[in-house]
Amino acid sequence: MTDPLRQPLFAAECGDRNTHEADMAQSSIWWVLAGAVVALELLSGTFYLLMLSLGLVGAALAAHLGASITVQLVVAAVVGGGFVLGWRRYKQQRPSALPASENRDVNLDVGETVLVDAWNFDGTGSVRYRGANWNVCLATGASPAPGLHQIVEVIGSRLVLRKL
């Protein structure tokens, strides 16, 4: 059986001495596929497609080394799958990020201190912070006492406080 990638394109017109053959190397196919998967990753934003493209790069390198198509497919599956599993394991071992309302990297007010003069009977109050009046409430488990408090979360225009 002949390889479909090496079939003459214009055999009927040019005869046996055809110089226009479709001679695309297997490694080129793997490189094109890797590039297409990277492009899809850029459009979708998922990092896992980038890991799969590394498997396709591995298959392209195997093709450059003269490996059979079976070995190339196994290399693509093992390398791509290995990177996907490795990335998943890495992500599971890292602690999850705080919600944006509690994350100082996102909200610079978290961690700052304010002075509370008095609390209302329902556990709310009002403070002057950054030149404006803010509504405040207590973090879960905190008791209302006047004095210095630390901002632990920002919910809309309300500061959640913990006594220092």
In a structure prediction context, what are the per-residue pLDDT tens digits for the chain, which is 164 residues long?
555 555 544 444 555 555 544 457 889 999 999 999 999 999 998 889 999 999 999 999 999 999 999 999 999 999 999 999 999 999 888 877 777 767 777 778 888 899 998 898 888 899 999 888 999 998 888 888 888 999 988 888 899 999 88
The 3 state secondary structure assigned to 27-55 is HHHHHHHHHHHHHHHHHHCCCHHHHHHHH
Residues of the chain with CATH 2.40.50.140: 113-163
Residue type, 57: V
Q: What share of the chain is helix, strand, coil (3-state, %, to 5)?
A: 40, 20, 40
CATH superfamily ID and name for 113-163: Nucleic acid-binding proteins (2.40.50.140)
